[in-house]
Amino acid sequence: MSLKNEIAVVGAYEHPRRWAPDKTAYQIAAESARGALEDAGLTIKDVDGYATSGVGPIGVLSMCHHLNLKPDWIDSTAIGGSSFVAQVAYAGAAIRAGLCRTVLITYGSTAASERFAIGTGGGFSQDPPDTFDIPYGPTIVGAYGMVAQRHMHEYGTTSAQLAEIAVTMRRHAGLNPNAKYRDPITVEDVLASRVISSPLHLLDCCMISDGGGALVVTSAERARDLKKRPALVLGAGVANRHNGIGQRDILDIAARQSGARAFERAGVKHADVDLCMIYDSFTITVLATLENLGFCKLGEGGAFVQNGRIGLGGELPVNLDGGGLSSNHPGMRGIFLVIEAVQQLRGESGERQVEDARIALCHGTGGWLGIKHSGATLILGAG
């Protein structure tokens, strides 16, 4: 049983706010749910499956209550910021298995107005393996910095090459009226910004914002009767890496496995992909993801992102919304990857529209690259 051409994303909505101290995370999620359902031409009464993440162990139940939902299928996958990308596939599997017909996926966060230190925070939880890492004081930005340092050591990648990614995301954000940071920046600006965790500068790091979004997933058959052109799921894959520091090569990331599965299931080639939405928690995340997804060889990412290749109008436009580096990052960015991809495939992205976008790849990274992380890849096609 495959998902290919059987499952569709029929509603997508990104909450426009980046700073919402007057709202709760639940309000943002609920407003986004309304937006995505309107986008699909459906109502909350049509929803019989519900998924969310980042709401604590049984927060999904509180969200059901908040949305007045009694769904037949409930999911709160918690693999970090990539969860929402994986949930599109999981929702598709549930629909194919007959567990439900229409799944609503929501996300809401007030990370900025609650002053939640995402990237500089210390360890999580009481996970047994963490007892070997956390005493040494790793931070998220420190972990990603370590990956960047390793990449530079192994392949001679430079800070200017990483900076090119931040500059490109900012250029795209300038075309997105809702993006938080829209003023253009240069490679020099990135290099002159202060170092947060060597070799990553401030402008190599995503922001912390408020925000949220929602998606509606249903069968391709049902999608035909709905308001807008659907985005069809072509293939998906989910993987993890680095369970326990020092056990693996930190440049071999989950995208290698999840990407390979997604391409295989979708039956498409890299050259077929018109645009990528890649979780850009840090510039190095984009570079490592492009390499591990196979868009270039390991070690060639630095050169690959140069000369406008990943910008609008380039060979492989990446993060047309401006990404977490310049548009929004409320803590778990995965859902925005899918929202922008759907809008691009429908041709709704205005000034930042990729011409004749037919196939979009979304890749979410969750957790800490270099320590333990997940990867979720989703390949969507214009319906």
Partner 1 sequence: MPTKYLRRDDVALHYLHTGPTTLPDQPPGLGRGVPLLFLHCEGGNAALWSRQMAHFAALHSPIALDLPAHGRSCGLDGPESIDHAADRVCSFLEGIAAPPAVLVGHGFGGHVALAVATTRPGCVRAVVTIGTAAQATIPDDAIAKLRQVVQGRLGQQFDTPYFGSAPDMAVMREWWGEMVKTDPKVRLSDLLAYRASTVATRLGTVTQPVLVLVGEADKLCPRDAAEALASGLSNARVVTIPDGGHIVHLEKAAEVNAAIERFLAEAAA
Stretch that binds partner 1, among 18-26, 84-92, 332-340, 346-354 (CB under 8 A): 18-26
Strands (E), 17-85: 49-52, 73-75
Which stretch of DSSP H or E encloses residue 241? strand 231-241
Q: Is 27 in the site for partner 1 (CB under 8 A)?
A: no
Sign of CA pseudo-dihedral 343, 222, 364, 361: negative
Size of the site for partner 1 (CB under 8 A): 16
Stretch that binds partner 1, among 140-148, 196-204, 219-227, 341-349 (CB under 8 A): 196-204
Candidates 4, 6, 2; CA nearest to 221 is 6
Scan residues 61-120 and list those touching partner 1 (CB under 8 A): 113, 115
The rounded distance, in Å, linking the Cα atoms of 157 and 153 is: 8
**Judged by CB, which is closer to partner 1: 153, or 194?**
194
Q: Is 189 in the site for partner 1 (CB under 8 A)?
A: yes
Q: Is 244 in the site for partner 1 (CB under 8 A)?
A: no
b/e per residue 19-45 (b: at least 16 CB within 10 A): ebeebebbbbbbbbbbbbbebbebeee
Which stretch of DSSP H or E encloses residue 346? helix 334-346
Sign of CA pseudo-dihedral 169, 104, 51, 357: negative
Question: Which one of residues 175, 187, 202, 260 is an interface residue with partner 1 (CB under 8 A)?
Answer: 202
Stretch that binds partner 1, among 15-23, 44-52, 102-110, 323-331 (CB under 8 A): 15-23
Question: Which one of residues 193, 294, 299, 308 is an interface residue with partner 1 (CB under 8 A)?
Answer: 193
b/e per residue 270-296 (b: at least 16 CB within 10 A): eeebbbbbbbbbbbbbbbbbbbbbebb
- In the complex, minimum distance from the CB of residue 194 to partner 1, in angstroms, rounded to a whole number: 6
Q: Is 21 in the site for partner 1 (CB under 8 A)?
A: yes
Question: Which one of residues 135, 153, 194, 313 is an interface residue with partner 1 (CB under 8 A)?
Answer: 194
Beta-bridge partners for 382: 231
- In the complex, minimum distance from the CB of residue 183 to partner 1, in angstroms, rounded to a whole number: 10
**Judged by CB, which is closer to partner 1: 115, or 153?**
115
**Judged by CB, which is closer to partner 1: 47, or 185?**
185
Candidates 63, 73, 317, 65; CA nearest to 214 is 63
The residue count for the chain: 383
- In the complex, minimum distance from the CB of residue 33 to partner 1, in angstroms, rounded to a whole number: 20
Q: Which residues bind partner 1 (CB under 8 A)?
A: 17-22, 113, 115, 180, 189, 192-194, 201-203
